[in-house]
Amino acid sequence: MGGFRLTRQEHELTFLYNTVVTECHDFSGHTFGFEFVDYQSIISLVHPENTSIDVIGLVVAIGEMGRDNNDKKNTGSTSKSKIQSFGLQLSVNLWGDFAYKMQHFIDNNPHNLHIIVILQFAKLSIWRDRPTVNTYFSVSKLFINTDIDEINVFKKSLDGDDRPDSSANTFTLMKSNKVSEHDDFMVKFQLKTIADVSEPVDKNYFIIVGTIKGILQNEQWHYLACSNCNYRAIRPPGADEKPDFDGSLGGYECHNNECTKTETSGVPRFMIQVRVQDNTGTITLTMFERDGKYLLKKSAKELFDKAVKLGFSTHLYPGEINALKGLKLAFKISINRFNVSKKNNQYGICRVSDDEKLIEELENKFTNSRVGNSQSFDIGEADTETQDNRILKDAISGTDDNITPITVDKNSATSLMKGLNTPTVLKRNLEEVFDLELNEKLLLSKTPKISPEGRINQLVVKVKLEKNG
């Protein structure tokens, strides 16, 4: 668990294959074993982050779902809420199935004027001195207006600021500051190919669709971040690393002027260099913690701690990261001031989407936008545009993970011929078009003329067929 404890018990119970479990009919203890934490200890940052907590409260605000995804097992889906108890409020993040459970309750109980929730085995996180209570994978338990003693007693205790208005819901809907995934990828930013963004011209954000073909394993896969603001943590010269109670490394400094801490702990965060390829080229992108954790379903700290436990060097790439290879994704990339001034085209990833429907929409959008610009040419009465495009895709898919495919003119099949520069491939292509016998010879007597803009002005092809005598 990387130093995170679900209970304060020092012992654990192990079930073997021959363990016998018998139902108890006279149990006198608490059914669920709640240990509610006082809000004040959380708000004042007194409660430690390495132990799970139980909280109960009245829901006073609910945010929009964080992802436009219908997959209920998607751990990236989140719902932000605020719960209140005796005048104090806590921010709560419900992830994955828990977010959908809350949304389902609201949808099916539109006239329920007040919602009491219990979140058991939750994880406390503190960022920039702001505490948030989060569900912890599938371990947490969420109770919503359940008919149990703890919730019924809490309802009766509501008074003063907590008493719900008899004529209105007690919760409000919070507007999310985040742009929806669909709008971020389909509306706000321009869709580009890798060839389009190969040279950083201006600061901007763009959308590309590509497949992760390789990982640059000669680069560091993580960095140590300030536990308070995620800015890079720096260890002073001569200072020793001191493990904190939660497994992070103490003895670091944060030089972020906006951070409230100067002495901090270093927490491993993802910084993975991936090679992404589409049908126009390849490019190196940097993936950070949020997207790495979303795709790998593990944090950098979990992989870091595992390497330390096994005695491996933390500089070696964990095998789990190879799961990124072969993923076809939509990427929102950032071209920043450094990229432009240094002419560096290694961009950072701001957001990824593995939504197949969204990726298909992006590809259709890209195809439709270029239909009017595409040029085709005839050899006799045969149209070879489709076949040339297929050869282009075959040539690119056959490249090595870290090799950039040939640069081609996007609007010209002739550029494909020039880029491949392989007479045998061209001959085979034309033979297939004309359905020639294998012993027939093909001679290309005239090459196409290309305008300065790269478009085909005219193409005249004469084919001479000779039989072997």
Q: Which of 345, 365, 308 is nearest to 190 (CA)?
A: 365
Q: Which helix (H) or strand (E) holds 223?
A: strand 222-226
Q: What is the pLDDT of residue 239?
A: 58
pLDDT in tens, 76-119: 567 788 888 878 899 999 988 899 899 899 888 877 778 999 99
Q: Alpha helix (H) ranges present in 256-410?
A: 289-296, 300-310, 337-342, 356-371, 385-397
What is the model's pLDDT at position 107? 86
| CA atoms of 116 and 143, how far apart (whole Å) | 8
Q: What is the pLDDT of residue 459?
A: 40
pTM, two decimals, is: 0.52
Q: What does the pLDDT read at residue 374?
A: 47
Q: What is the pLDDT of residue 146?
A: 95
Ranges of the chain with pLDDT below 70: 1-3, 66-77, 128, 159-170, 175-179, 238-250, 369-469
Place of tokens 């085909």: 456
Q: What is the pLDDT of residue 47?
A: 86
Identify which of 97, 89, 106 has the alpha carbon closest to the alpha carbon of residue 42. Answer: 89
**How many C-alpha atoms does 214 have within 13 Å on its Cβ side?**
15
Amino acid in the structure at residue 337:
R
CA dist., res. 401 & res. 112, Å (int): 55
pLDDT of residue 406: 35
What does the longest C-alpha to C-alpha distance in the chain come to?
A: 105
Q: Which residues of 75-92 are buried (b: 16+ CB within 10 A; e: fewer)?
A: bbbbbbbbbbbeeeebbb
